[in-house]
Copies of this chain bind each other. A is one copy, B any other.
């Protein structure tokens, strides 16, 4: 019997709460039978959903609370009033060692604020980043920061490189992930000062990554690197723009395949291929964005996902725990910070 691996779930988070979280956990348990769950939330609302899942019931414990963070709560309100909420207790279970991972589909800002308060950031990390998987023509890539922080200095970008590499190692099993810095291709300007400074650091220092230099927005989907590093404002805009473009293309394809009787018949014949296309474009497969830089593994699920998508988010947390991500990441960050403090940037030397 393998050792159990325990994950705490904010059962009240997301648009549907336990109606998605409980069947999502059941699906994840089918994939990873060594999982156990803390289901944190309103017992009376969780239990009915457990009835259909005897296997999950046997490997779960309900942690009851009446308090839930609402999707529209502001982070500051959530932190003030949210002690004892399902989100808080799910995080607290990671802090006190009862669980290795917390997963929530609740309000992103509230989850980030609480996670920082409950778990604290790793040494030398001021603000965690949100990472996500990005589908490419090859295997997936990791992109961070997707919007936890607006702006990033060179040091934060270097942190993101090491944190993203740790995630790629955990999820894809690549020992020295290829890392690129997202930039724009204007000659002589070549991006913002912070990005250029981070580029110099990542190039000069011997880090556990295969640093590939600058990448542009159209290269993310080509999978030219395993990890794409960008400050959160541009990263969030890139993510949302890609999501919007993918939906737009999907609607064009639907229009094309319903534009005539012949096209409709063609779509029937091509149904097998089109089903594969739909699977490939299914955002639920890639649901689950870890907060990186905390003393604990926290995964943010999309608020509007279904059980299949929630199970993917649990899967991300599982892979990160399985790879013992935090131990390795703490060592890598300490090594990076050691190198950066020996190896001051040119402007700091002049100062």
Contact = CB atoms under 8 A, between A and B. Distances in A.
Interface in A66-117: 74-76, 107-109
A222 to B, nearest CB: 7
B74 A188 contact: yes
A246 B249 contact: yes
Interface of A: 74-76, 107-109, 135-137, 147, 150-151, 182, 184-189, 191-192, 216-222, 230, 232-234, 236-253, 255-260, 262-263, 265-274, 276-277, 280-281
Contact of A281 (B191, B222, B236, B249): B249
A248 to B, nearest CB: 4
Contacts of A218: 240-241, 243-244, 247
A248 B137 contact: yes
Contact of A247 (B75, B76, B221): B221
27 contacts: A76-B188, A150-B184, A184-B232, A184-B233, A184-B240, A185-B236, A186-B236, A192-B233, A217-B236, A217-B237, A217-B240, A217-B241, A219-B240, A230-B237, A234-B237, A241-B241, A242-B242, A242-B244, A249-B249, A249-B253, A253-B253, A253-B277, A255-B277, A262-B269, A266-B266, A266-B267, A266-B273
| Majority-rule SS of A interface residues | helix
Contacts of A255: 273, 276-277
Contacts of A248: 135-137, 221-222
Contacts of A222: 244, 248
Contacts of A234: 233-234, 237
Contact of A244 (B184, B185, B188, B220): B220
